[in-house]
Amino acid sequence: MTRDNGDHGNSPSDEAALSARLKRLGERLGQHTGRPVDKSPGASSTADPSAMARGFRLSTELVAGVLVGAALGWLLDRWLGISPWGLIVFLLLGFAAGVLNVMRAAGVNMGSNASRPPD
Amino acid sequence: MGDPIHQFELKSLFSLGHIGPYEIVFTNSALFMLLALLATAALMLIPTRQRALVPSRAQSVAELSYEFVANTIQSTAGKEGMKFFPLVFSLFIFVLTVNLLGLLPYGFTVTSHIVITVALALLVFFTVLVYGFWKNGLGFFRLFVPSGIPIYILPLIVFIEVLSFLSRPISHSVRLFANMLAGHITLKVFAGFIVMLSALGIHGVVGAILPLSLVVALTALEFLVAFLQAYVFAILTCIYLNDAIHPGH
């Protein structure tokens, strides 16, 4: 109790000591959290650790690509009256997009990635 | 008890009035969203009121969740991604809380309805579009033109990239929805086996031990999935936002 009352009239040297200690604590905490941050870029390429979640993710990526291609092709067929060509072409494109999605999600390094200029 | 889909039924609790011919109803889904909001507010606001230098347990939970999301954003979208911290944090905490509330007995899983997950995914999709065009102007189209591609297959690649971009909200939303739906149906089916077996007499009761232990294990797995799917949803949001911040692969 008496110490609390004493702290009320904080002398400047106390404040300085406290802020110095806070700074040191901040630095030490920074060192501590610095390590996980260093590790995380490797972890981020595999976003989901469990195998089942990974499988789910890859399959939905493929299905989503095909679905979007089919929907776009069907709409184009209806609007332009070019049935069945829109559906055929866009289903194939959608399948390619799905495969691309899966490769991206799986973290496959594509050739173009290696040759790209650093930006 | 037998119907495993019954748990996803929307029940109207009370009516809020009409807009045109449509009745606006407060459903059990809305109730659980409201509960998630209250739980989040209680988690984030009450323990951080004191702002102690040495955090209490509740305060350190709030601080840890902040740091977790902040690290996720910085490792995927860089420092500039921190602009979107409120969005990503809200999405993560909302999905996580709603998933966990759905695991409580008599709980309702809001994210097992595709309307909710599509709405969230479209929110992210349009945020990426609007911010991408606002920040990069037409340079946002570089997203669809990967560098180092020969000119004669470029049109094809651009088509495929556009389709791949358009398919994002679908895979983003279906993943969360399908995981929650499938998990809860599996739980209900195995729980149904227990009741059916134990109705067969003493041998059935002994046999019911197997599905019972499975249900226990699956419940633990569902807690993992609830967290993991919220995390995956957040990290994909970060990856998509990263495209808006730095287009051109």
- B122 at interface of A, judged by CB pairs closer than 8 A: no
Write down the pTM of the prediction: 0.78
Query: Is residue B43 in some structural domain?
Result: no
Which residues are within 8 A (CB) of B46 and not within 5 positions of it... i.e. 6 or more apart? B58
Q: Which candidate in A54, A61, A99 is best for mutational testing of the B interface (most B CBs within 10 A)?
A: A61
Residues A84 and A53 grouped into a single domain: yes
Query: Is residue B170 in some structural domain?
Result: yes
pLDDT at A5 (0 to 100): 45
Could you tell me how many helices (H) and strands (E) chain A has, helices first? Answer: 5, 0
Whether the predicted pLDDT of A47 surpasses 70: no
Q: How confident is the model at residue A34 (pLDDT cuts 50, 70, 90)?
A: low
Q: How many CA atoms lie within 13 A of A98 on its CB side?
A: 22
Distance from CA of A8 to the nearest CA of B (A): 18
Query: Is residue A31 in some structural domain?
Result: yes
Domain carrying residue B240: 65-245
Q: How confident is the model at residue A33 (pLDDT cuts 50, 70, 90)?
A: low
**Interface contact B171-A116, CB threshold 8 A:** no
pLDDT means over runs of 10, chain B (249 residues): 78 85 88 93 84 81 90 88 92 94 89 92 94 88 82 86 90 90 90 88 87 92 91 91 80
* Mean pLDDT, residues A18-46: 62
CB B197 within 8 A of CB B12: no
Residues A82 and A95 grouped into a single domain: yes
Query: Is residue B48 in some structural domain?
Result: no
pLDDT at A49 (0 to 100): 53
Whether the predicted pLDDT of A90 surpasses 80: yes
**Predicted-complex ipTM score:** 0.72
Query: Is residue A103 in some structural domain?
Result: yes
More confident site: B224 or A52 = B224
- The residues on A that touch B, with CB distances below 8 Å, are 33, 36-37, 40-41, 43-44, 47-50, 53, 56-57, 60-61, 63-65, 67-69, 72, 90, 93-94, 96-98, 100-101, 104, 111-113, 115-117, 119
**Interface contact B171-A33, CB threshold 8 A:** no
Which residues are within 8 A (CB) of A4 and not within 5 positions of it... i.e. 6 or more apart? none
Query: Is residue A21 in some structural domain?
Result: yes
Q: Residue B170 in 3-state DSSP?
A: helix
* Mean pLDDT, residues A64-77: 92
Query: Is residue A119 in some structural domain?
Result: no
Residues A37 and A83 grouped into a single domain: no
Q: How many CA atoms lie within 13 A of B144 on its CB side?
A: 20
pLDDT at A2 (0 to 100): 43
Residues A19 and A33 grouped into a single domain: yes
Whether the predicted pLDDT of A46 surpasses 60: no
Task: Tell me the C-alpha to C-alpha distance, in Å, between residue A31 and each of A17, B15, B99.
Answer: 21, 55, 34
Whether the predicted pLDDT of A25 surpasses 50: yes
CB B127 within 8 A of CB B62: no
pLDDT at B226 (0 to 100): 92
- Report the alpha-carbon distance of residue B168 to residue B143 in Å, rounded: 14
How many cross-chain Cβ pairs, A to B, lie less than 8 Å apart?
97
More confident site: B211 or A110 = B211
Query: Is residue A87 in some structural domain?
Result: yes
Residues A61 and A97 grouped into a single domain: yes
Chain B residues touching A30 at Cβ < 8 A: none
Q: How confident is the model at residue A9 (pLDDT cuts 50, 70, 90)?
A: very low
Residue B190 in tokens = 């195995």
Distance from CA of A65 to the nearest CA of B (A): 5
pLDDT at B34 (0 to 100): 93
Distance from CA of A16 to the nearest CA of B (A): 17
- The helix or strand, by DSSP H or E, that contains position B15, with its residue range, turns out to be strand B12-19
Residues A25 and A79 grouped into a single domain: no
Residues A39 and A51 grouped into a single domain: no
Q: At A81, phi and psi to the nearest 5? A: 65, 40
- The helix or strand, by DSSP H or E, that contains position B17, with its residue range, turns out to be strand B12-19
More confident site: A42 or B138 = B138
Residue A75 in tokens = 């709409």
- Report the alpha-carbon distance of residue B141 to residue B125 in Å, rounded: 15
Residues A53 and A105 grouped into a single domain: yes
Query: Is residue B137 in some structural domain?
Result: yes
Residues A71 and A103 grouped into a single domain: yes
Q: At A47, phi and psi to the nearest 5? A: -60, -35
Query: Is residue A3 in some structural domain?
Result: no
Query: Is residue B28 in some structural domain?
Result: no
Residue B36 in tokens = 């998630």
CB B215 within 8 A of CB A41: no
- Report the alpha-carbon distance of residue B37 to residue A45 in Å, rounded: 31
Q: How confident is the model at residue A18 (pLDDT cuts 50, 70, 90)?
A: confident
Residues A20 and A52 grouped into a single domain: no
The domain total for chain A is 2
Distance from CA of A86 to the nearest CA of B (A): 13
Domain carrying residue A15: 11-43
Query: Is residue B54 in some structural domain?
Result: no
Residue B17 forms beta bridges with which residues? B24
Least confident residue range of A45-59, A78-92, B138-152, B198-212: A45-59
pLDDT at A11 (0 to 100): 61
- Report the alpha-carbon distance of residue B114 to residue B108 in Å, rounded: 14
Q: Residue B148 in 3-state DSSP?
A: coil
Q: Which candidate in B60, B167, B238 is best for mutational testing of the A interface (most A CBs within 10 A)?
A: B167
* Mean pLDDT, residues A83-87: 86
The domain total for chain B is 1
**Interface contact B163-A72, CB threshold 8 A:** yes
Please count the residues of chain B: 249
